[in-house]
Chains A and B, each alone.
Chain A
């Protein structure tokens, strides 16, 4: 089949170009052609809309109207003058700064524990992974009910003689509870990434360190962590990007309330675009988010990569 296809491409290219290509060139040509299709799809559905968003961000476009007058940077200045948007930027950074380390710490802890057991490992791995493949909306609603004013958790607190808490109604607690929900949901993914990383650490390094008299903590600190570094870099980058785009859980759990204390940039973009129909401002906010993601990713590559030590 493939050989036939390669011959066909070769014939076509000969007709088109007027000269013969070597078999190797033909083969590469075929492979690149095949690879080009998904690339084109990516260009059409990802890259072009991104470029288009840049274009829209400097226009005033009410989604329903046909005209899109150019307004320069007016959308950006209006956004930065809006205290709700500024608050959503601060919130988004809290999601990243608390969520990413939290998710990594919990994921690593679970992975280390699982790495050290043999029996029921598969069972535990499956159980930890289930939340990751559960719908975010369903998870959010379950947590919402647990954290309800007269929900299960407050009843437990009262039963223990403690004060009931506001939880999701509190502008000070809500954001951390949403983060906790997201962490809980992503433990499975994070655990799997770390488990794969741990399998790649050769046993003999630990043995050598043990012979040199290193205890468990020093073995972890000086063998496990440095060798896991590529996995950590990967997790931090992927985690930061996903926390920067926090949306579903917030929409289902608090809708950005109370007092905008859980509102994220993406939730704000959603409100601007599909509740207020201000596509220009919404696009401007996505451009700001894009710049933030780009800057953070570059910074992380610089900071975390430097630490690689062999």
Chain B
């Protein structure tokens, strides 16, 4: 008995010692991996004095070989084009090697957010413009070097919506291409309803939608006159389309205050959006799962969707007979726009920064923007490229491009949350019979809170 207890004690002592040794090993190897994960900043720091010294000696020739990493999400057309462009760029700049890394779209920000703190960051990163405030707030990005990208030049060459990438007076990212929303309309269904022209005004849209709607004997939708999915694109339509068209304003100049209820325009725009589902009953959410699916399969006659959809329709619904028209106007014209833009992380310095600048200049050049339109189908970000007749006169691209001059890109603090608030406000009215005025008031207050929280954090810094 006694002996076994003693033995047990001995055993546990041995085990404890063993554990200690092992954990010590673990700690040691951890430190090792930390050290090996960090060379990107440390090696670039080590390389930077060398590089700058060389530049002083002979500014044009930097004989040193540099490898930079480019990150973007996995979209086959974009990945292929970037690979092609990298080849071209490397023949022009034999000392620079560019490596492309991709992540699936729906995990993109997750992957970026988890890999970057681990020290595995890119030298150029492609980000959705709506994420920029978060990335800038966390101090991850550096402003675009002004010698390579003078703000004045960006403002004169690019479509005005690109200013959404300007934060605290500096541009943090620059796009190759942009996207706008427009009306997609099914030409066959229009012919069937004997409507000659796509609707050009708010009123015409309501009339056409009513005429195009088809229901069965039990009152169920067979064809939606106007697809209604607030969570897809319609929340953008409200902020950057309907609201300014009705004479309202989105945000204050300093982007701190939500001005939707500053004039009656906001409520008018919100009510117009909801009326399609509640009063006119020309469409409803969840019909054939979502709006683009309903339109693609010929079960919705009109839809508000983006230029990014053209490519997938070409592939998935080659027989769909549809046209594109600018968004219907009210007191003025306005269309939502968005873009993915390239940015440079803060820790990119020295030779790598120089190489990143070169590659970014190449990516935003006119030639690449043209290739981007042709291969990816997104719209050119520079006025000189977009206004060319081959694009502006194109049957499908034209209406999207024409809207670029008056398009707007809402400054998002948090796209997911801001979208959810509009969807919820619509659902409160639709499902819980909350009065529109009340739902709208709550929507403005809750959206304002997101801005207040963000700016409170910014001001603390």
Residues of A within 8 A of B (CB): 13, 17, 21-22, 24-25, 28-29, 32-33, 36, 40, 44, 62-66, 144-145, 148-150, 158, 164, 166, 168-171, 257-260, 271, 274-277
Inter-subunit contact B11/A65 (CB<8 Å): no
Instruction: Collect the chain A residues with CB atoms within 8 Å of residue B221's CB.
Output: 150
Inter-subunit contact A277/B218 (CB<8 Å): no
Inter-subunit contact A169/B285 (CB<8 Å): yes
Inter-subunit contact B15/A36 (CB<8 Å): yes
13 A-B residue pairs with CB within 8 Å? A29-B14, A36-B18, A44-B26, A62-B138, A65-B139, A169-B286, A171-B432, A257-B423, A257-B427, A258-B424, A259-B427, A259-B431, A274-B109
Assuming the contacts A64-B113, A64-B116, A145-B289, asked whether A29 and B11 have C-beta atoms less than 8 A apart, the reply is: yes
Instruction: Please tell me which one of the listed residues A24, A63, A274 contacts residue B117 in the complex, with CB atoms under 8 A apart.
Output: A63
Instruction: Collect the chain A residues with CB atoms within 8 Å of residue B423's CB.
Output: 257
Docked pose: A267 CA to B135 CA in angstroms: 22
Residue of A64, A158, A170, A277 contacting most chain B CB atoms (<10 Å): A64
Inter-subunit contact B19/A158 (CB<8 Å): no
> Is B114 at the interface (CB under 8 A from chain A)?
yes
Docked pose: A269 CA to B288 CA in angstroms: 30
How far, in Å, is A77 (CB) from chain B's closest CB? 14
Instruction: Please tell me which one of the listed residues A17, A40, A166 contacts residue B14 in the complex, with CB atoms under 8 A apart.
Output: A17
Inter-subunit contact A277/B18 (CB<8 Å): no
Docked pose: A13 CA to B11 CA in angstroms: 11
How far, in Å, is B7 (CB) from chain A's closest CB? 6
Docked pose: A17 CA to B417 CA in angstroms: 62
Inter-subunit contact A258/B431 (CB<8 Å): yes
Assuming the contacts A36-B15, A150-B220, asked whether A64 and B289 have C-beta atoms less than 8 A apart, the reply is: no
Instruction: Collect the chain B residues with CB atoms within 8 Å of residue A149's CB.
Output: 284-287
| Proximity bits, B419-453, A CB within 8 Å = 1, else 0 | 01001100110011000000000000000000000
Docked pose: A111 CA to B287 CA in angstroms: 39
Instruction: Collect the chain B residues with CB atoms within 8 Å of residue A63's CB.
Output: 113-114, 117, 138
Inter-subunit contact B287/A171 (CB<8 Å): no
The secondary-structure label for the interface of chain B is: helix
Which positions 114-153 of chain B face chain A at CB distance < 8 Å?
114, 116-117, 134-135, 137-140
Inter-subunit contact B286/A148 (CB<8 Å): yes
Instruction: Please tell me which one of the listed residues A22, A25, A259, A276 contacts residue B424 in the complex, with CB atoms under 8 A apart.
Output: A259
Assuming the contacts A44-B26, A64-B117, A150-B287, asked whether A171 and B138 have C-beta atoms less than 8 A apart, the reply is: no
How far, in Å, is A279 (CB) from chain B's closest CB? 9
| Proximity bits, B97-125, A CB within 8 Å = 1, else 0 | 00000000000011001101100000000
Instruction: Please tell me which one of the listed residues B15, B18, B140 contacts residue A64 in the complex, with CB atoms under 8 A apart.
Output: B140
Inter-subunit contact A25/B10 (CB<8 Å): yes
Residues of B within 8 A of A (CB): 7, 10-11, 14-15, 18-19, 22, 26, 109-110, 113-114, 116-117, 134-135, 137-140, 218, 220-221, 231, 284-289, 414, 416-417, 420, 423-424, 427-428, 431-432
Inter-subunit contact B138/A33 (CB<8 Å): no
Instruction: Collect the chain B residues with CB atoms within 8 Å of residue A29's CB.
Output: 11, 14
Docked pose: A275 CA to B412 CA in angstroms: 13
Instruction: Collect the chain A residues with CB atoms within 8 Å of residue B10's CB.
Output: 21, 25
Docked pose: A260 CA to B431 CA in angstroms: 13
How far, in Å, is A177 (CB) from chain B's closest CB? 13
Residue of B nearest to A158 (CB): B218
Inter-subunit contact A36/B19 (CB<8 Å): yes
Docked pose: A257 CA to B229 CA in angstroms: 14
How far, in Å, is B283 (CB) from chain A's closest CB? 11
Residue of B nearest to A161 (CB): B218
Instruction: Collect the chain A residues with CB atoms within 8 Å of residue B218's CB.
Output: 158
| Nearest 3 pairs of A and B residues by beta carbon | A64-B138, A65-B138, A149-B286
A63-B114, A148-B286 given. 17 additional CB < 8 A pairs? A24-B7, A32-B15, A36-B19, A64-B116, A64-B139, A150-B221, A158-B218, A166-B431, A169-B286, A257-B423, A257-B427, A258-B431, A274-B110, A275-B109, A276-B134, A277-B109, A277-B138
Inter-subunit contact A260/B116 (CB<8 Å): no
Instruction: Please tell me which one of the listed residues A28, A169, A259 contacts residue B428 in the complex, with CB atoms under 8 A apart.
Output: A259
Assuming the contacts A13-B14, A64-B135, A271-B416, asked whether A40 and B22 have C-beta atoms less than 8 A apart, the reply is: yes
Docked pose: A275 CA to B427 CA in angstroms: 22
Instruction: Collect the chain A residues with CB atoms within 8 Å of residue B414's CB.
Output: 275-276
How far, in Å, is A15 (CB) from chain B's closest CB? 13
Instruction: Collect the chain A residues with CB atoms within 8 Å of residue B285's CB.
Output: 149, 169
Instruction: Collect the chain B residues with CB atoms within 8 Å of residue A24's CB.
Output: 7
How far, in Å, is B102 (CB) from chain A's closest CB? 18
Residue of B nearest to A48 (CB): B26
Docked pose: A150 CA to B289 CA in angstroms: 9
Docked pose: A305 CA to B152 CA in angstroms: 74
How far, in Å, is A242 (CB) from chain B's closest CB? 23
Docked pose: A271 CA to B417 CA in angstroms: 9
Docked pose: A64 CA to B116 CA in angstroms: 7
How far, in Å, is A111 (CB) from chain B's closest CB? 36
Inter-subunit contact B288/A28 (CB<8 Å): no
Assuming the contacts A62-B137, A64-B140, asked whether A164 and B289 have C-beta atoms less than 8 A apart, the reply is: no
How far, in Å, is A170 (CB) from chain B's closest CB? 7
Docked pose: A17 CA to B18 CA in angstroms: 12
Docked pose: A62 CA to B457 CA in angstroms: 11
Instruction: Collect the chain A residues with CB atoms within 8 Å of residue B424's CB.
Output: 257-260
Instruction: Collect the chain B residues with CB atoms within 8 Å of residue A259's CB.
Output: 424, 427-428, 431-432
Docked pose: A158 CA to B289 CA in angstroms: 19
Instruction: Collect the chain A residues with CB atoms within 8 Å of residue B139's CB.
Output: 64-66
Docked pose: A40 CA to B113 CA in angstroms: 28
Residue of A nearest to B112 (CB): A64
Inter-subunit contact B113/A25 (CB<8 Å): no
How far, in Å, is A39 (CB) from chain B's closest CB? 9
Inter-subunit contact B110/A25 (CB<8 Å): no
Instruction: Collect the chain B residues with CB atoms within 8 Å of residue A166's CB.
Output: 431
Docked pose: A259 CA to B423 CA in angstroms: 8
Inter-subunit contact A171/B431 (CB<8 Å): yes
Inter-subunit contact A33/B287 (CB<8 Å): no
Docked pose: A247 CA to B46 CA in angstroms: 46
Docked pose: A259 CA to B430 CA in angstroms: 11
